[in-house]
Structure 1
Amino acid sequence: MSGSNLFGELRRFARTSGAVGGIAARVAGERMLGIKTDRAAHAEDLKTILGGLKGPLMKVAQFLSSVPDALPAEYAAELAQLQSNAPAMGWNFVRRRMSSELGPDWQSKFASFSQTAAAAASLGQVHRARLHDGTEAACKLQYPDMPSTVEADLRQLKLAMAVYARMDNAIHQDEIYKELTERLREELDYEREAAQMRLYQLMLHDRPAVHIPRPIQGYCTKRLLTMTWLDGRPLMERLAEEPPQEERNRIAEALFQAWYVPFYRYGVIHGDPHMGNYQVRPDGSVNLLDFGVIRVFQARFVSGVIALFEAVRDHDDEKAHHAYETWGFTNLTREKMEVLNLWARFLYEPLVEDRVRRIQETNDVTFGREVAEKVHAGLKRTGGVMPPREFVLMDRSAIGLGGVFLRLGAELNWSRMFHDLIADFTEESLVDRQATALAEAGVPLAK
């Protein structure tokens, strides 16, 4: 590692360690010593610190805020407000980055290029441009020193998880950390993201309600991703206008297709379902954005997901135990499995009932928190579990999308949509489709 990268990591660590350490101290003080603190005020401070950072800690914060009971309610409420709005880098940075990626004459490759960022995210910022053939484009430029930033954040995340593990043994986090580490490092490679974007175009080519940007050949490098520009509005902005129920349903159905057609037909899932990653169009169709965090599953895992649904539907504990083992859970006692089944029944309930309904029958905005608290308490009581790596993004997507469906107030027959996807499922057909799509898109297999 170069000296400059090492110093970059040390600076990063110094900026974040106080914030994360503060959370750890306050959580420990409350849970172990009974010390009451002003968590709401500290959560506001934490949001300010993380919102000004460019790197995976902001993504981790968004992730934690979407998982029920992962953080105290005050922290979750503040962190949920974090969107991909990190302050943009200035024009001097943009000129240097574009010159290093496309050459000193880079501006001649565009008919126009906006000096002002159209959007700023955790790892890069987006500028609108136009090619000479009239194609409207979005250029995502990676921020400087991001590899060292990611490594510093991963060290900080490991420290924070270790502190939390000493306070709470319900979830053993070793495999979770390994999964987050691999996915975040992959996200640095914009050529990989371009391939994953092509993969999603292939998988969703017959779904007109979902729009995928197209990477533009000759304009992409490991630190520059140029893609076609998609017009759309942020989902929360449209929801603020209280659209009619029919439009809400169309949006929810499009999002269901965007996530679960790839999963059940190709064994692939988009692992980052937060509000900033989709836009809506006037006809209720959606734009799916940001393909940096993608998970490819073995057919056996997808088969296990379907088997667990059948176990919940049929109240079959033996099939449930087999499904968990298929996923990679080990050393499951009957007591631990009963606790996990609370979570499984909660997630699968809308798929079991063959009727039009909301994703959750109550209007509780803290989606699943009560169930999550029971699961958490049960796992602590029974010695905890170690979730397999594959479980992390699958659960993240289910909870993240469930929260979006809840906000939409969508009323759909979730069971019918699910059964349409799995009607002809076999492990062999998934393996064939997956191999063909990955090869055609040029997606490298994970290590």
Structure 2
Amino acid sequence: MSDLPRKAVTRTAKLAALPLGFAGRATWGLGKRIGGKSAELVAREVQQRTADQLFKTLGELKGGAMKLGQALSVFESALPEEIAGPYRAALTKLQEAAPPLPARTVHGVLAERMGQDWREYFLEFEDTPAAAASIGQVHRAVWQDGRVVAVKVQYPGAGEALLSDLAQLSRFARLLGPLVPGVDIKPLIKELRDRVSEELDYELEAQAQREHAAEFADDPDVVIPQVVHQADQVLVTEWIDGIPLSQVIVEGTAEQRDRAGQLLARFLFSGPARTGLLHADPHPGNFRLLPPAQNPAQDAEQPEEEDAPAGSWRLGVLDFGTVDRLPGGLPPTIGDSLRMATEGDAARVYELLREENFVKESIDLDPDEVLDYLLPMIEPTQVEEFTFTRGWIRDQAARVADPRSPAHQLGRQLNLPPSYVLIHRVTLSTIGVLCQLGATVRMREELEEWLPGFLAEAAEATEAPEEGEPEGETVQV
């Protein structure tokens, strides 16, 4: 492949062929059953072929097609096991790699954006990419001062491809829906489209990464690589090795998976409180598990301490191309409603949901039924520690997705305000990754430390202003 497939007619034709392929395999499966093959074997074969075609196409096209595939990959744990098996390998491929662009294309971008003498910035530059993702690929190099760096190069035509793909995918979102039960594909695609300009702006990404790196510089648990250089369509950061989270999911020890899950939850909730930013792309390809002796400035060739105590492993965080800007941290309504739900205060929870427009004025629901709908989902916040499993998230997905379920009927009447869309997706995606890890996490501990309103004492202190003080205004995040 000489370049990113970017001709609209070519990309549209490939994406439009997907629904036809699904229909064709269903017909093929029927023929196999008539021929005497068991329904179960045929179903598995059809699912495997569907997964192979879908995610091969999404990965090859990169752009918005692959971005959707990566967003869907974190929900794999919610699929029923008989479906998840055939899909798991295909989904996981999208978390780490895609077919790379050739070296001459990469060199052309570097020459255009860094100057014809771009090689003078580097002591070494590896032409074979270390990773290839939705809108860019990463090359390992050695910067002029000797630091090992990651050079992120944006694909030519990435913006056009993103918008073209997502527009086309939205047209047959309903056909994709059954692939991931319980996930509404169309709003997900819309939200991805809304973020295109930010995703393509490496200056914004560099700024977000610098802010995180400064805040977490001395953190014992989280490692953020420093930004070394930034140009249009090129971003150079310090290199970090470590074990990809996708590898921890497949073959990590129980201690490693628990540690990774705990740190992922900690980063999710502490980030907005500490930086005013929410890392909004929590798929496993963006995280590494690092042993304690390693740091970004260290020679990447130094052997890792594989036998390090699990409790001392750290979480390396990559890719700040998509963030949600939350100057006041996560909205206190989230912590308030969680706390009141765990206390069983159905009336107050319902009142808060109405105030924030989760329940529209034209809708009238029973507060106790709303609480019953929420309680199974917030179970991890009600206990000291909780083991996230594929079985648990499947139960939640099935409860909400089944049209015969009261939870499904009630859920359809709830509203998701625009200011909460990205927070909601990041939370669901993180839970999906925790379930893939099978991690036992002290979620309540992280909420008490970082989520405004979750602790009753803290909530009371902020709710009652001293006499004579103005009460202030409600800030819409």
TM above 0.5, yes or no, is yes
Once residues 326 and 339 of structure 1 are traced to their aligned partners in structure 2, the CA distance between those partners, rounded to angstroms, is 15
Give a deviation string over 1:355-391, Cα, whole Å, max 9, x none.
3x3333xxx5255122222223346535554423343
User: Does 1:307 find its partner at 2:333?
Assistant: no
2:242 aligned with 1:232: yes
Paired AA for residue 8 in structure 1: K
2:48 pairs with 1:48? no
- Indicate the residue corresponding to 1:100 in structure 2: 112
Tell me, yes or no, if the aligned pair for 1:124 and 1:140 is still in contact at 8 Å: yes
Is 1:349 equivalent to 2:379 in the alignment?
Answer: yes
Question: Could you say if the C-alpha distance between residues 138 and 80 of structure 1 is closer, same or farther in structure 2, counting changes exceeding 3 Å?
Answer: same
What's the CA shift string for 1:159-192, capped at 9, x where partnerless? 1236679xxxx98877654422122331011111
Task: Return the alpha-carbon distance in structure 1 between the equivalents of residues 90 and 354 of structure 2.
Answer: 34
Deviation string 1:3-26 (CA, Å, 9 cap, x unpaired) is xx9972232111112115655898
Aligned residue identity for 1:228: E
Q: Quote how far apart the aligned CAs of 1:396 are.
A: 2.9
CA distance in 2, matches of 1:406, 1:192: 31
Match of 1:402 in 2: 431
Range that drifts further, 172-181 or 94-103? 172-181
Measured in 2, the distance between the counterparts of 1:221 and 1:427 equals 47
TM-superposed deviation, 1:262: 1.4
* Identity level (%): 27
Contact 2:126 / 2:139 at 8 angstroms: preserved in 1? Answer: yes
What corresponds to 2:346 in structure 1? Answer: 317
Paired letter, 1:317 = A
Q: CA deviation at 1:312?
A: 1.7
Match of 1:118 among 114, 130, 144: 130
Q: Distance in 2 between matches of 1:340 and 1:173?
A: 26
- CA–CA distance in 1 between the matches of 2:366 and 2:86? 31
Matched with 2:470 is: none
CA distance in 2, matches of 1:281, 1:136: 16
Query: Is 2:72 the counterpart of 1:64?
Result: yes
Counterpart Cα distance in 2 of 1:335 and 1:195? 45
Q: Please report how far the alpha carbon of residue 196 of structure 1 lies from its aligned counterpart in structure 2 after TM superposition.
A: 1.1
Tell me the equivalent position of 2:303.
Answer: none
C-alpha displacement of 1:102: 0.5
Superimposed CA distance per residue, residues 38-61 of structure 1 (whole angstroms, 9 cap, x where no aligned partner): 333222221222222211222212
Q: How does 1:353-432 map to 2 (within 5 A)?
A: 353=383, 355=384, 357-360=385-388, 364-377=389-402, 378=405, 381-382=409-410, 383-422=412-451
Q: In the comparison of the two structures, how many residue pairs are matched?
A: 413
Aligned to 1:182: 194
User: 2:447 aligns to what SS in structure 1?
Assistant: helix
CA distance in structure 2 between the aligned counterparts of 1:146 and 1:286, rounded to whole angstroms: 29
C-alpha distance after superposition, 1:313-357 (max 9, x if no partner): 111222222333455424243159836853x3234222222x3x3
The 8 Å contact of residues 287 and 317 in structure 2, kept in 1 or not, is answered as: yes
* Structure 1 residue runs without a partner (length 5+): 430-446
1:258 counterpart = 2:270: no
- Retained in 2: the 8 A contact 1:171–1:384? no
* Deviation of the 1:209 alpha carbon: 0.9
2:233 alignment partner in structure 1: 223
CA contact (8 A) 1:359 1:402 kept: no
Asked if structure 2 preserves the Cα contact closer than 8 Å seen for 1:62 and 1:79, the reply is no
* AA aligned opposite 2:137: Q
- Offset of 1:289 from its aligned partner? 0.6
Residue 81 (structure 1) aligned to one of 88, 92, 95: 92
* Alignment-derived partner of residue 443 in structure 1: none
Residue 141 of structure 2 aligns with which residue? 129
CA distance in 2, matches of 1:406, 1:55: 27
Q: Which piece of structure 1 moves more, 412-421 or 294-303?
A: 294-303
Per the alignment, residue 102 of structure 2 pairs with 90
Residue identity opposite 1:102 in structure 2:
M
Partner of 1:13: 12
Please tell me whether residue 286 in structure 1 is matched to residue 327 in structure 2.
no
User: Residues 125 and 142 of structure 2 are in contact (CA less than 8 Å); yes or no, is this contact kept in structure 1?
Assistant: yes
Shift of 1:236: 3.6
> How far has the Cα of 1:134 moved from its partner?
1.1
- The answer to whether the 8 Å contact 1:173/1:387 transfers is no
Instruction: Work out the CA distance in 2 between the residues paired with 1:85 and 1:24.
Output: 28
Q: Is the 8 A contact 2:64 2:165 kept in 1?
A: yes
8 Å CA contact retained: 2:346, 2:370: no
Aligned to 2:280: 271
Structure 2 counterpart of 1:46, one-letter code? L
2:358 pairs with 1:333: no
Contact residue 69 and residue 369 of structure 1 kept, 8 A: yes
Instruction: Check 1:328–1:154 CA distance in 2 against 1; reply closer, same or farther (3 A cut).
Output: farther
Alignment-mate amino acid for residue 158 of structure 1: S
Deviation at 1:86, TM superposition (A): 0.9
In structure 2, do the counterparts of structure 1 residues 44 and 162 end up closer, same or farther at CA, with 3 Å as the change threshold? closer
- The structure-2 alpha-carbon separation of the partners of 1:304 and 1:294, relative to structure 1 and needing over 3 Å to count, comes to same
| 1:193 aligned onto 2:205 | yes
**Shift in alpha-carbon separation, 1:206–1:321, aligned structure 2, 3 A:** farther
Q: Measure, in 2, the Cα distance between the counterparts of 1:290 and 1:212.
A: 10
Of stretches 311-320 and 257-266 in structure 1, the one that deviates more from structure 2 is 257-266
* Alpha-carbon distance between aligned partners in 2 of 1:222 and 1:405, rounded to the nearest angstrom: 35
Which amino acid counterpart does residue 331 of structure 2 have in structure 1? V
Opposite residue 71 of structure 2, the aligned amino acid is: F
TM-superposed CA distance for 1:125, in Å, is 0.8
Q: Which consecutive residues of structure 2, in runs of 5 or more, have no partner in the other structure?
A: 30-38, 293-312, 463-476
Amino acid at match of 1:14: A
Could you tell me whether the CA contact under 8 Å between 2:65 and 2:165 is conserved in 1?
yes
